Structure 1
Amino acid sequence: MVAQHVARDADIASVASLIADPTRAAVLTALLDGRALAAGELARLAGVTPATASAHLSRLLDGGLVTVASQGRHRYYRLTGPEVAEVLEVLARISPRPAVRSLRQSRQARLLEEARTCYDHLAGRAGVRLLAALVDAGYLVGQDAYELTGSGETALSELGVDVAAARASRRRFAPACLDWTERRPHLAGALGAAITQALLERDWYRHGASRRVLEPTELGRKGLAAMFSGKELTCSTPVTQARE
């Protein structure tokens, strides 16, 4: 049988091979909250030596999946952009869940399912509920990609969201992102990131002790309930109680 040439629009195999290595996958996952990490911290999180982590980071840099910035003697790595995060989230949706073997792992999984960052926007149960509340309130219209209504722009501006800057961003404005734990969409894009930033700046959410975890404050629970007519958008235990 004569082999046939297969036309390709992009060399996806080279990118897939970079992600396929367990150490590189662990490094990329550690960077999924959008913040930069030093090489030594990435080595610890991936469970490898600094030299091994350095070799893998070099390959990820060459492949365009991460960027690096130097501060003094340290080099800090982050994902190249939201597109890389989107690919990793899609892979997470079709990948098997790791077995939970300890109480600590069980608690970590529960916290990630409740509220976490998906690169730079709110995900998990809290993110799904927030998007549903925005749609139900008439603040967003659409399905796979959303647009703000007049009342929505007013409400989000009062929350502290810079809507104009989000519109001017080169990113998609307000796409839906299928949540890999909830199997329902949360809000992504420039608007999703701007809302999450406003929630953090208002101290309605705080970064948790574990990477990617976001935890609501008592102030945030009350603020969101007031904004959405008493709807419960967060878990019942705020961060101020969870850390006692």
Structure 2
Amino acid sequence: MLDHQKDVSSEWETYIPELSMATLAAAMSDTSRMKILCALMDGRAWTATELCSVADIAPSTTSAHLSRLLKANLITCLSQGRHRYFRLYSSHIASFLENMMGVSFHTTHPSRKKVPQELLKARTCYDHLAGEIAVQIYDFLSKNQWITDDGNNLTKSGREGFTQLGIHFDEKVKRKKCCACLDWSERKFHLGGHAGAMLFEFFETNNWIQRVTGYREVIITKQGHRALRKYFSLETE
């Protein structure tokens, strides 16, 4: 018993938060690797060739960067036959990157005019919607008590509202039902978690939004503008 306790203690002693954070920061401390991570924020799996193009680097260099990111558990690799695809390791990494963008955006004080308006309006945040539109939707959900005050759960009204829209949740999903995700450009919350992902999927399936291939920007369709006005009281045009 004592030996087992000693082994457990020894394992914990090997974890040094400061060292782990420094290691993670080192894995991200390269512009090309950050370009790769930001590209993967669209929630889809990319090939090495596609990431090579978006980062504007040579294939051999891309391979080295991907290995570094894989080792740091920032991304994961999916194999299908002879093809390999890369995506962010988890939604937690996506939230971390979104927060980093917020910090960098507000510490460097860039003019909003220099940021593409389409990106500010609506974009992907891994598997859910971010930007001005997403923040307005979150405000609607909060005002109408579809979510709890901390944004970490759906209320009875919220469940009923999502059901009326045609969104049905899989209760077996272990992911957090919903969460308040801090939007880097608006500095307010948008909806994350399982509910945020389901809402994004619903919007896309019903052609309320369209992704821009290779970018995080999301286009609100004419049908989407009408639907957002009808169901969420948003004036998006």
TM-score, structure 1 length as denominator? 0.83
CA distance in 2, matches of 1:22, 1:79: 17
Determine the structure 1 residue equivalent to 2:137: 130
The one-letter code of the counterpart of 1:95 is S
CA distance in 1, matches of 2:24, 2:234: 42
Determine the structure 2 residue equivalent to 1:50: 59
For residue 155 of structure 1, report the CA deviation from its aligned partner.
1.7
For residue 9 of structure 1, report the CA deviation from its aligned partner.
3.7
CA distance in 1, matches of 2:47, 2:109: 26
For residue 193 of structure 1, report the CA deviation from its aligned partner.
0.8
CA distance in 1, matches of 2:98, 2:77: 22
The one-letter code of the counterpart of 2:153 is E
For residue 40 of structure 1, report the CA deviation from its aligned partner.
0.6
Determine the structure 1 residue equivalent to 2:146: 139
- Structure 1 residue 94 corresponds to structure 2 residue 98: no
Could you tell me which runs of 5 or more consecutive residues in structure 2 were left unpaired when the two chains were aligned.
1-14
Q: Deviations over 1:176-219 (max 9, x none)?
A: 11100001111111111111111111111111255111111111
Residues 136 and 234, structure 2, Cα contact 8 Å, conserved in 1: no
Q: How does 1:93-242 map to 2 (within 5 A)?
A: 93-96=102-105, 109-143=116-150, 145-163=151-169, 165=170, 167-209=171-213, 211-228=215-232, 230-232=233-235, 234=236, 236=237
Q: Secondary structure at the match of 2:153?
A: strand
Structure 1 residues 207 and 98: alpha-carbon distance in aligned structure 2, compared to 1, 3 A threshold: farther
For residue 231 of structure 1, report the CA deviation from its aligned partner.
3.1
Could you tell me which runs of 5 or more consecutive residues in structure 1 were left unpaired when the two chains were aligned.
1-6, 237-244
Q: Tell me the percent identity.
A: 37
Moved more, 69-78 or 24-33: 69-78
The one-letter code of the counterpart of 1:25 is M
For residue 169 of structure 1, report the CA deviation from its aligned partner.
2.2
Determine the structure 2 residue equivalent to 1:79: 88
For residue 62 of structure 1, report the CA deviation from its aligned partner.
1.5
Q: Secondary structure at the match of 1:59?
A: helix
CA distance in 1, matches of 2:221, 2:214: 16
For residue 149 of structure 1, report the CA deviation from its aligned partner.
2.4
Q: Secondary structure at the match of 1:147?
A: coil
TM-score, structure 2 length as denominator? 0.85
Q: Secondary structure at the match of 1:48?
A: coil
Determine the structure 2 residue equivalent to 1:239: none
Determine the structure 2 residue equivalent to 1:241: none
Structure 1 residues 134 and 205: alpha-carbon distance in aligned structure 2, compared to 1, 3 A threshold: same
Residues 128 and 200, structure 2, Cα contact 8 Å, conserved in 1: yes
Which has a greater percent of helix?
A: 2
The one-letter code of the counterpart of 1:154 is E
